[in-house]
Chains A and B, each alone.
Chain A
Amino acid sequence: MSKGGLNYRLVIFFIAIVFGVGFSLPTFLQTKGGAKISLGLDLQGGLHMLLGVKTDEAIKSKMKSIASSIKFFTDNNDIVIDELRVKGDLVSFTLLDKDEEKNLDNMIKKIPGVQIKKDKLSYVLSLSNKEKVATKKFAVSQAVETIRNRLDQFGLSEPNVAKQGADKILVELPGIKTIEEEQRARELIAKAAHLQLMAIDEKRADQANTMSEDEAASYGDVILPDSKNPKIKYIVKSVPILDGSMLTDAKVGFSSMNQPVINFTLNSEGAKIFGDYTAKNVGNHLAIVLDNIVYSAPVIKERIGGGSGQISGGFSIKEAHDVAIALRSGALLAPVKLLEKRSVGPSLGADSIRASMLALITGFVLVFLFMIVYYGMAGLIADIALLVNLFLVIAIMALFGATLTLPGMAGIVLTVGMAVDANVIINERIRELFREGKSVAKAVEKGYTNAMSAILDANITTLIAAVVLYAYGTGPIKGFAVTMSIGILASMLTAILGTHGIYQYIMPIIERSKSLPFWFGVKKGK
């Protein structure tokens, strides 16, 4: 007769039950505190995007700002240069003042990473390769920072912005409810928020509607449209007076006509440049340009000190609000483009949860009943293990802060089908041993021993497949691999150790009852 009673396997199984139920409760009850499984975007609804950073543009804009600083320097030191142009990743100009050559060269050499190529007095500036790589890298990390800042200020819950690979950015927004909200968030991210204060080319201002872009470029000008009426064009100097990098604050305000406007403040360097320029150019026009659109082009009436300005141009309040956020969080050094987007409405997510929960419960009930019909009490013991297995999977996922996706849900459903496999193998072995005439206690013990190598090999190979799936999978597929792996590992604990412990505990009862059909669904010797 077997001893029965408590054994180490049962104790471990009890601990697993307490652990599983305890840590899955916050998820089931949706309590406030405690670690819970968070739902993936495909289940709760939301926006997932992969953005690519156009890093080449960062180099172009860097060249533009180098041109600006050369212009500022030469203007201030009364050095005469001509034909200052930015073309792609090159800046070119001609120095007319040979005496100032050394002075100018010294200044340029102070700009990090700039290479000078000179043909007599015509200069061509470019960036060293190292500087180009650094600029691109900075543009990506700056874009991540900037987008995160913007989304934080936008007021969405738990936005996730992360760099991926060399030049990609992953953006996840779980809180999006409607397509309108989604579009607004996308527009906010996409906004370059590149503020430029530019000089109107007074000599050619009247040809704005007739001149071609190429002709304008030959004068060092660009043609930009008006914000309210895109048909109205302005010819402005392509090298800006200053840009948004010198901006310290931007706020929504109201004009005297009660229209929403954006008031911005410049830092001290910007304020000085702005003050100096306006002092010298009284009577000329100044264009306030945001993302290559002219918002206004007022006449400079007097020197503007203090370094503050205003963008007005028929914003709605929402637009003004978003533009102010974008300006405050800084310009994107390089524009971003959409590589991949998955947006799921919350109602679709709820449908998916309902459908997969229904499949999970139905599948579970079917397997549960089937095991009892086929194996009797042995089936019930396997079912207990299966139930604990489910709790454990949920508890472990909650503790790891794992995200449950739709494929992950399918993984759990699949685990239900596969987790009883170990018990099927064990029970079949036990039945075999009965047929060989072994006693109940011996058959159970030996059944576990015999089944072990098959169960281990089978589970390890499945685990290998799951690990590879995780390593090479993307997004939701990873979620599937995670639930599969946890399910397999948990099933080893519950289906092998747990059920074994139960048998050992109740062995005296089984031996006394002598009813094999009741306990194992089989007649002895059949």
Chain B
Amino acid sequence: MQVFSKDKIYDFMGKSNIFITISLVMMLSSYFFLYTKGLNYGIDFAGGTVVQVKYNKVAPIKKIRKAIAKDKAFENATITKFGSANEIIIRFATTSGNLSKDAGDKIKNLLKGTGNFKIRRVDIVGPKVGGELREKGIMAMVMSILAILIYVGFRFEWRFALASVMALVHDVSIAMGAIALFQVDFNLDVLAALLTLLGYSLNDTIIVFDRIREGIGDTKDSNLFNVINDSVSKTLSRTILTSLTTFFVILTLFLLGGQIIYSFSFTLLVGIIVGTYSSVFVASPMLKWLGFSLKEYRDKEVAKVKRRIEREKLRAQYEKGLM
């Protein structure tokens, strides 16, 4: 089976302005959502308490709300359904450092008489820990982008590195915009998903870039547009296929993975789509925008080869001299 006609070269670069405009609009609206709606920080980062309760029939949310409100400490608790109608999540911003009697124990007492229930999960994150987790998360993000920047700069050229990182910023921004728009719980899992997205989207971009690098060496074509179009078209089939297989599994994780992993799979689902889009339509035009010049690159490569040959000559002479 074959989906993409093999020898067809698509004119991506000719339409790059359209794609860049789409991306800019997406990014700006993401920032707009992030600014107006804000991230819905989970307790991992904001600190707070989550109690997950499962009833043996439909959870009587009204009754539960009334019962919980009896304790002043839980006045601002939010109660939401979690997955099925039988299961609920009680969440509030306060935590107490009291080890022997914590919020879970209190909730259990308050809920007595609301039906037959089981407390399935109690997560408490103190404010200090939440702050530390947030700091570590930001550090992880920055460090991995830096490490990637260095590696790609070393393997390719600094413009490739910058272009790939800009594509990453694009992907992460839009994924976070979607998280803000749908008010998905921003927790440690989402952070992991975002970091996975970094690796994944970069993977896609690198494979296109690798082909461009190869294309620069293979043809004498002096038009950057043609080289990029050629390379992106040649990798298109692979990009789509791998994205599809990955998309399949993320989709099953999203549909079948259950509520507890929902924010993780949601982030990845959005991320895979945006990441694939960016490596085809965003990263390569970036090269042009960053002022990448074929001539300059080829000259440099030639100079590199020359230097190597000279060095080898010198070494050969030196070795001869020693003998």
Contacts and interface: CB of A to CB of B under 8 A. Distances in A.
Interface of A: 49-52, 179, 183, 186-187, 189-191, 336-345, 347-348, 351-352, 355-356, 358-359, 362-364, 366-367, 370-371, 373-375, 406-407, 410, 413-414, 416-418, 420-421, 424-425, 428, 431-432, 435, 450, 453-454, 457-462, 464-466, 468-469, 471-477, 480-481, 484, 521-522, 526
A362 B147 CA distance: 35
29 contacts: A179-B119, A183-B105, A190-B98, A191-B100, A337-B97, A338-B96, A339-B126, A339-B129, A343-B123, A363-B252, A371-B245, A406-B261, A407-B192, A407-B264, A417-B248, A421-B203, A424-B238, A435-B7, A454-B210, A458-B206, A459-B203, A461-B206, A464-B147, A472-B139, A474-B188, A476-B188, A476-B189, A477-B191, A521-B1
Nearest to B44: A474
Interface stretch (B27-35, B148-156, B309-317): B148-156
Nearest to B2: A522
Contacts of B155: 457
A50 B121 contact: no
How many B residues are at the interface, by size bracket? 35 or more
Nearest to A472: B140
B195 A468 contact: yes
A366 B242 contact: no
A203 B264 CA distance: 67
Closest CB pairs A-B (n = 8): A363-B249, A465-B199, A337-B97, A472-B140, A417-B246, A355-B258, A190-B99, A468-B144
Given A363-B252, A522-B2, A462 B192 contact: no
Nearest to B188: A477
Interface string B135-177: 0110110011001100110010000000000000000000000
A417 B119 CA distance: 35
Interface in B240-263: 241-242, 244-250, 252-253, 256-258, 260-261
Given A362-B252, A469-B196, A484-B196, 6 more contacts: A183-B105, A343-B122, A359-B256, A413-B249, A435-B7, A469-B192
Contacts of A410: 253, 257, 261, 264-265
Nearest to A480: B192
Nearest to B156: A457
A418 B148 CA distance: 19
Contacts of B52: 348
Contacts of B7: 435
B169 to A, nearest CB: 15
B104 to A, nearest CB: 7
Nearest to A165: B132
B133 A418 contact: no
A414 B257 contact: no
Interface of B: 1-2, 6-7, 52, 54, 95-102, 104-105, 108, 118-126, 128-129, 133, 136-137, 139-140, 143-144, 147-148, 151-152, 155, 188-189, 191-192, 195-196, 198-200, 202-204, 206-207, 210-211, 214, 234-235, 237-238, 241-242, 244-250, 252-253, 256-258, 260-261, 264-265, 268
Contacts of B248: 363, 366-367, 370, 417
A407 to B, nearest CB: 6
Contact of B189 (A352, A364, A407, A484): A407
B284 to A, nearest CB: 15
B37 to A, nearest CB: 25
B126 A340 contact: yes
Given A52-B97, A424-B242, A468 B206 contact: no
B253 A413 contact: yes
Contacts of A50: 129
A362 B249 CA distance: 8
B170 to A, nearest CB: 16
Contacts of A351: 258
B80 to A, nearest CB: 17
Residue from B121, B144, B246, B252 whose CB has the most chain A CB atoms within 10 Å = B252
Nearest to B264: A410
B120 A344 contact: yes
Nearest to B202: A461
A363 B268 CA distance: 15
A462 B123 contact: no
A410 to B, nearest CB: 6
A421 B121 contact: no
Nearest to B47: A340
Nearest to B133: A474
Nearest to B237: A428
Given A462-B202, A462-B203, A522-B2, A337 B99 contact: yes
B242 A420 contact: yes
B99 A338 contact: yes
B97 A338 contact: yes
Contact of A521 (B2, B147, B192): B2
A338 B202 CA distance: 40
Contacts of B206: 454, 457-458, 461
A341 B140 contact: no
A189 B124 CA distance: 17
Contacts of B99: 49, 51, 186-187, 189-190, 336-338
Nearest to A379: B1
Contacts of A406: 260-261
A80 B292 CA distance: 90
A341 B48 CA distance: 10
Contacts of A344: 120-121
A72 B118 CA distance: 54
Contact of B242 (A421, A435, A484): A421
Given A424-B238, A464-B151, A472-B140, A347 B133 contact: no
A366 to B, nearest CB: 4
B102 A461 contact: no
A477 B192 contact: yes
Contact of A359 (B95, B96, B199, B252): B252
Given A186-B100, A370-B245, A374-B1, A472 B253 contact: no
Contact of B261 (A355, A366, A473): A355
Given A424-B242, A461-B199, A347 B249 contact: no
Contacts of B139: 472
Nearest to A339: B126
B128 A339 contact: yes
Contacts of A521: 1-2
Contacts of B133: 474
Contact of B241 (A366, A374, A435, A469): A374
A478 to B, nearest CB: 10
B32 to A, nearest CB: 28
B207 to A, nearest CB: 5
A195 to B, nearest CB: 18
A338 B125 CA distance: 9
B49 to A, nearest CB: 9
B97 A339 contact: yes
Contact of B123 (A342, A375, A435, A484): A342
B120 A347 contact: yes
Contacts of A475: 188
Contacts of B257: 355-356, 359, 410
A469 B141 CA distance: 8
A474 B129 CA distance: 11
A355 B253 CA distance: 8
B126 A370 contact: no
A356 B140 CA distance: 26
B48 to A, nearest CB: 11
Nearest to B248: A366
